[in-house]
Amino acid sequence: MRMRSALVVIGLVAGCAAPGTTPAPDGEPPSADASEEASATASPVPSPAPTSTEQDAGTSLAFRWPDDDEPTITRELMGVDESFINPGAVIDHGGSLHMYANAFTAWPGPVQVMHLVSTDGVTWEVASDEPIMTSADVPFTPTGHDVSTGFVTDDGTWVLVFTTVSTKPWMIGLATAPGPDGPWTVVGEPVLEGRGAENGEEGGLAWPSVVATDEGYLMYFTAVSRMGRGGTIAMATSSDGLTWTRLDEPALVAEAEWELTSLDRPRVARTPDGYVMVYAGRTLNDRGVAWSDDGITWTRDGDAPAIRKDELPASGDSWDAALVYRDGVLTYYLEVGWTRTEIYRATAPMPGAEAGG
């Protein structure tokens, strides 16, 4: 789990670690008082060096980090006394981007969610000095939750979707508000739960990503085979964004060599050419791309990752992310670091579009 302080660390879909420990592929570094679970997740297999075949395969998306390698959002900008921040949910609405970023130090442990706004996705400012929600607001998780995605329904309801990271197994919950500034109310029960160890989901469900369709909404999430071990990317549908029905078949399962038999942290955006997904392999440090015409059937974009650890703009590992499509350009906000993390921004023009961002 991720006791991301100088003393303790943590551990996933979806989050970092303390010095001298290796982060777990579930997204958070393992805790210092290693239990059986922590020992199982504390030493993920390192990302293999790409073969020449993988390098030649490439992807149609070319993500570019800022030339100065500076973070887009820092803990100082957010005004939080926490070790780790991730982009949580980014909602594009009414010409503005709204980021609901998670800030925390112990993992799993208390999380505060901060609201930031931007018009261009590059320069951000804090909308409120106080968190819009904390883990104490979630009645069905002991101490921790992690916001992963959000959207606005047709009737104007704002929705944030989160993972209950301090429960075992993990579950997916919702919070709603009449507007971007709240007040936010957590729905009293989880909206999706895993199918249990007997169905290969011992770790539950985590790291959701929601996109709107012409008929309603699609949610993608990690069905966690074992806590800290990732799993497959599953999906659910909803007509109103509040009540969800899970589909029987997964959206994507691990096949490529670099994925190391496990997928994690799907982030999906809808574009004029269909749906695009950026997702992680088991170690989280390499990210691949898949495309879909209908949001149901997905095809990988080549056999190699589009984002690699050796291309990250800062030292450390990569954790949680958010994906936004705007005007022919995909923007990927990624948490990078080790004992401290910041949020970095990569852009990729859609195939056939002019480079931007």
Instruction: Find tokens 């056939």 and name the residue.
Output: 352
Once rounded to an integer, what is the mean pLDDT over residues 252-262? 96
Once rounded to an integer, what is the mean pLDDT over residues 61-88? 96
Q: How confident is the model at residue 354 (pLDDT cuts 50, 70, 90)?
A: low
What CATH class is the domain 36-349? mainly beta
Q: What distances in angstroms separate CA 246 from CA 135, 151, 173, 211, 236, one per listed residue?
A: 25, 19, 14, 15, 4
Once rounded to an integer, what is the mean pLDDT over residues 239-251? 97
Q: What distances in angstroms separate CA 355 from CA 64, 268, 289, 325, 338, one per listed residue?
A: 10, 20, 18, 13, 31
Residue 52 has pLDDT above 90, yes or no: no
What's the confidence (pLDDT) of residue 14? 37
Domain boundaries, the chain: 36-349
Beta bridge partners of 313: none
